[in-house]
Amino acid sequence: MIDQIIERYPKIWLLIRSVLVFILFWTSAYLQYIPIRLFHIDYHSTSKVIQVFLSTYSSAVLFFIFLFVYWDDIKKEYKKFRKHLVENMDIGIRYWFIGLIIMMVSNIVITYFLKAGGAGNEKIVQDMLEAIPWLMIIDAGILAPFNEEIAFRKTLKDICTNKWVFALLSFLLFGGAHVLGNATQLVDWLYIIPYGALGGAFALAYYDTDTIFTSLSLHMFHNIVLVLLAVFVL
């Protein structure tokens, strides 16, 4: 029955799937309530180490759900990525570098010239890194990029055929997701620009290569480098 509906209304199916996956991403933190309830954990009084384990747990559950939902697409796009590896990475690196420049410049302007307090999301990640860095490499460096590429790139690309609309939506949603809940003053919302710059760059890389593994590999590389720098340099 479901297969017949998918074959008859493929665009509607893609829209429904994208919306449901996006909602699941936004509510995935509630998955932590499963071990919290099972083990009677008081989240507000737990150590940072336990909080990191809970975060990694919810990220891992989401990872496997997304892997199951998009398994066929992932296999196809991996073959396409591997077949044109050098070309795909060349395109992806160019977009990533442009996004990185915009991210760095806008961060400097917002933080030092407009006197914003710094991105709240980065402070949270830094606290978690100090608690248990090796697990954060898995969470922030591998699981989070995969989940975010599915939520902010795959879902949007499935329902948006215009390249620049796709990139703009990814810019706004990806940037907003990293600021929402952490902004304490109006100027903090400007951090949508540096975060969104990478989101838009990854979207363009995905669109031009037609394989999510281009943006995914660069997203993972970017996050892992940042985590390692935070652990061993900063």
Got the DSSP string for 2-34? HHHHHHH-HHHHHHHHHHHHHHHHHTGGGGGHH
Give pTM, 2 decimals: 0.91
Model confidence pLDDT, tens digit, residues 24-71: 999 999 999 999 999 888 877 778 888 889 999 999 999 999 999 999
Name the token pair of 77. 């796009």
Contacts 24+ apart (CB under 8 A), 138-142: 138/56, 139/52, 139/55, 139/56, 139/59, 140/223, 140/226, 140/227, 141/220, 141/223, 141/224, 141/227, 142/220, 142/224
Tell me the residue length of the chain.
234
Instruction: Locate all alpha helices (DSSP H) within the chain, ordered by sequence.
Output: 2-8, 10-26, 33-38, 48-69, 71-83, 85-108, 120-131, 133-138, 144-149, 155-159, 163-179, 192-209, 212-232
Which of the pair, 101 or 49, is modelled with greater confidence? 101
Model confidence pLDDT, tens digit, residues 135-163: 989 999 999 999 999 999 999 999 999 99
Q: Is the pLDDT of residue 120 over 70?
A: no
Distances (CA, A) of 15 to 20, 25, 27, 93: 9, 15, 18, 30
- How many domains are there within the chain? 1
Which of the pair, 167 or 124, is modelled with greater confidence? 167
Distance CA 35, CA 54 (A): 8
| Domain that residue 46 falls in | 2-232
Terminal Cα distance for the chain, rounded: 55
Q: Is the pLDDT of residue 170 over 90?
A: yes
